[in-house]
């Protein structure tokens, strides 16, 4: 059985990026945003979706959306920081 498709959407009202599986929130990253930077504060993946790549997909897609918006990332969340450490291709997105 293959894993269901995951989509990531920004929920500006709740200040988070959400990973959705079949329309249900499977995980999210909370954030605080300024004109130039987005601080990624905390990542949550619901237990039913752990170990299925939802967290990594959520971080990667969130970074892509932040990059498209022309902003930099402040990785306060340890999960996001670890992802960035494993993927140096995102180094230029880090706020200095």
pLDDT tens-digit map of 66-96: 999 999 999 999 999 999 999 999 999 999 7
Summarize pLDDT for 4-36 with one digit per residue, the tens. 689 999 999 999 999 999 999 999 999 999 999
Q: What is the pTM of this model?
A: 0.93
> Are 17 and 10 spatial neighbours (Cβ–Cβ below 8 Å)?
yes
Domains of the chain and CATH, by start: 6-93 (3.40.630.30)
């Amino acid at each position: 059985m293959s894993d269901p498709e995951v989509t990531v959407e920004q929920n500006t009202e709740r200040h988070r990026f959400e990973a959705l599986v079949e329309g249900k929130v499977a995980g999210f990253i909370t954030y605080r945003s300024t004109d130039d930077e987005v601080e990624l504060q905390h990542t949550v993946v619901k237990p039913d979706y752990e170990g299925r790549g939802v967290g990594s997909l959520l971080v990667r897609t969130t970074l892509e959306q932040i990059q498209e918006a022309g902003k930099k990332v402040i990785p306060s969340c340890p999960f996001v920081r670890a992802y960035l450490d494993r993927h140096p291709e995102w180094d230029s997105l880090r706020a200095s």
